């Protein structure tokens, strides 16, 4: 009886050793910007997204996303120096104290319209769980999420409305 049990256990272990997952390490293409919208209008952008994206379309639960952006790269556009400087203050991003904005997935699941990453967004030293719905087609991740600035202790009146963060991330293997 023990022999049959050991042979069965060995067979299961041997079979599981040959399960192949197609997790691919995707790299973000250079010069990518994260776009932030307020009221449907592009409000600010951040450059220099850095990410480790291990993604398997067939087995998304085996996937992992870790990303960060340099908060000092905040750019409200060519003609808005006051908003640029205001975005850097303690009432807004406080970039002197918190120069990095980051996201770390805790789970990725398949949904009807694509995928959803659940994870921790850290902004201004405050970490909150968010859900990031996204699609993946032709080597481009497209998704976004909404935050309430007050949840991250952002009190600047220019940032008091919901902010929609839009991600269109071209990647390569």
What does the H/E/C string look like for 97-156? CCCEEEEEEEEEEEECCEEEEEEEEEECCEEEEEEEEEEEECCEEEEEEEECHHHHCCCC
What CATH number did the domain enclosing 31 receive? 2.40.128.110
Residue 54 within any structural domain of the chain: yes
Kindly report the average pLDDT of the chain as a whole number: 85
> Residue 73 falls within a domain, yes or no?
yes
Identify the residue with better confidence: 155 or 4. 155
Tokens of 75: 């750019």
50/159: higher pLDDT: 50
Of residues 108 and 85, which shows the higher confidence score? 108
Is residue 15 assigned to a domain? no
- Cβ-based neighbour number of residue 126 at 10 Å: 12
The predicted structure's pLDDT at residue 79: 59
Is residue 168 within 8 Å of 142, Cβ to Cβ? yes
Q: What's the rounded mean pLDDT across residues 111-136? A: 97
The DSSP symbol for 29 reads P
Report CA dihedral (140, 141, 142, 145) to the nearest 10 degrees. Answer: -160
Is the pLDDT confidence value at 78 over 80? no
Q: Is residue 27 in a domain?
A: yes
Kindly state whether residue 102 falls inside one of the protein's structural domains. yes
140 falls in which pLDDT band (50, 70, 90)? very high
| Beta strands in 18-125, from DSSP E residues, in sequence order | 24-28, 33-38, 41-47, 50-55, 64-70, 100-111, 114-123
In this prediction, residue 96 carries a pLDDT of 92
Q: Which of 6-15, 39-48, 70-79, 144-153 has the lowest mean pLDDT?
A: 6-15
Q: Are 37 and 66 in contact (CB under 8 A)?
A: no
Cα torsion for 108, 147, 35, 89, to the nearest 10°? Answer: -130
DSSP type of residue 165: E
Residue 85 lies in a domain: yes
Both structure tokens of 117: 């990453």
CB 141 within 8 A of CB 171: yes
Residue 21 has pLDDT above 80, yes or no: no
Structural domain contains residue 3: no
Q: Is the pLDDT of residue 8 over 50?
A: no
Rounded mean pLDDT, 22-36: 83
Is 18 inside any structural domain?
no
Residue 64: the pLDDT is 97
Tally the domains of the chain: 1
Expressed as residue numbers, the domain containing 46 is 23-172
What pLDDT shows up at residue 12? 45
């Amino acid at each position: 009886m023990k022999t049959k049990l050991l042979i069965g256990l060995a067979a299961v272990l041997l079979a599981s050793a040959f399960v192949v997952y197609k997790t691919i390490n995707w790299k973000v293409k250079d010069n990518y910007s994260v776009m932030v919208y307020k009221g449907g209008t592009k409000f600010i952008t951040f450059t220099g997204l850095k990410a480790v994206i291990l993604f398997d379309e067939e087995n998304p639960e085996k996937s992992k996303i870790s990303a960060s952006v340099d908060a000092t790269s905040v750019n409200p556009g060519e003609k808005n120096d006051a908003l640029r400087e205001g975005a850097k203050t303690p009432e807004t991003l406080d970039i002197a104290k918190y120069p990095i904005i980051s996201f770390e997935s805790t789970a990725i699941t398949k949904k009807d319209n694509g995928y959803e990453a659940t994870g921790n967004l850290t902004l201004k030293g405050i970490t909150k769980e968010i859900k990031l719905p996204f699609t993946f087609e032709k080597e481009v991740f497209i998704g976004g999420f909404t935050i309430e600035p007050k949840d991250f202790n952002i009190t600047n009146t220019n940032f008091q409305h919901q902010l929609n963060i839009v991600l269109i991330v071209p990647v390569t293997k």
